[in-house]
Amino acid sequence: MQEYSKKSLLIMDILLSAFLVALDQLTKMQAVRLLMGKPAIQLIPGVLEFCYLENTGAAFSILRNARWFFVIVAVIACIVIAALLLRIPRTVRMMPFHLCLVFILSGALGNLIDRLTLGIVRDFIYFSLINFPVFNVADIYVTCATFVLIILILFRYQEEDFHLGK
């Protein structure tokens, strides 16, 4: 089974994560520029709109104003994910798992940057059809990658695929 070198995979992780975090931050800056203090922009009336929201908590403003709690949780999550990325087998078979972790890490970093620099997370995507919490690109990374990761763990990988440190 083909393996990637630890160095090449680390470089790929850093570049991909930097790109994803930059994309998240750029979309948030555009949201501030185009949406802050302005009415929502309906993309699909009654379904999807862009509206700017500053969130001091989690989804639905759960744990509002718990900035340092979220910072600590995000830092711990980033450390754990980085350690996993360095330890999971570097095989082609494990690449989807690996990429999911990079996306989750990037989403955590994107929102962590907001919390550390601004004290809030900038959200701007709203599915009004189901009254889903307003979210951002970093949230999409975390949510979608976690969903795919669960599917992979349930249907693709077996216990022996996770022998760490190969």
Residue 50 pairs in a beta bridge with 41, 125
> What is the full DSSP assignment across the chain?
--B--HHHHHHHHHHHHHHHHHHHHHHHHHHHHHHTTS--EEEETTTEEEEEEEESSSGGGTTTT-HHHHHHHHHHHHHHHHHHHHHS--BSTTHHHHHHHHHHHHHHHHHHHHHHHHSSEEEEEEETTTTPPPB-HHHHHHHHHHHHHHHHHHHT--GGGG-TT-
Instruction: Output the six-digit token pair for 93.
Output: 């078979």
Active site residue 123: yes
Catalytic residue among 13, 24, 114, 139: 139
So which residues are the catalytic ones? 123, 139
